[in-house]
Chains A and B, each alone.
Chain A
Amino acid sequence: EAQVTQNPRYLITVTGKKLTVTCSQNMNHEYMSWYRQDPGLGLRQIYYSMNVEVTDKGDVPEGYKVSRKEKRNFPLILESPSPNQTSLYFCASSLGSGGDYEQYFGPGTRLTVT
Chain B
Amino acid sequence: GQSLEQPSEVTAVEGAIVQINCTYQTSGFYGLSWYQQHDGGAPTFLSYNALDGLEETGRFSSFLSRSDSYGYLLLQELQMKDSASYFCAVRDRTGFQKLVFGTGTRLLVSP
Contact = CB atoms under 8 A, between A and B. Distances in A.
A47 to B, nearest CB: 10
Nearest to B4: A42
Interface string B30-65: 110101000001111100101000000000000000
B42 A56 contact: no
B31 A99 contact: yes
B48 A102 contact: yes
B70 interface: no
A89 B62 CA distance: 27
A59 B103 contact: no
Interface residues of A, number: 29
Contacts of A108: 42
A99 B101 contact: no
Given A58-B98, A102-B48, A42 B91 contact: no
Interface of A: 31, 33, 35, 40-45, 48, 50, 56-59, 90, 92, 97-108
9 contacts: A33-B99, A35-B101, A42-B102, A43-B101, A45-B99, A58-B98, A97-B30, A99-B89, A103-B99
Contacts of B104: 42-43
B90 interface: yes
B48 A100 contact: yes
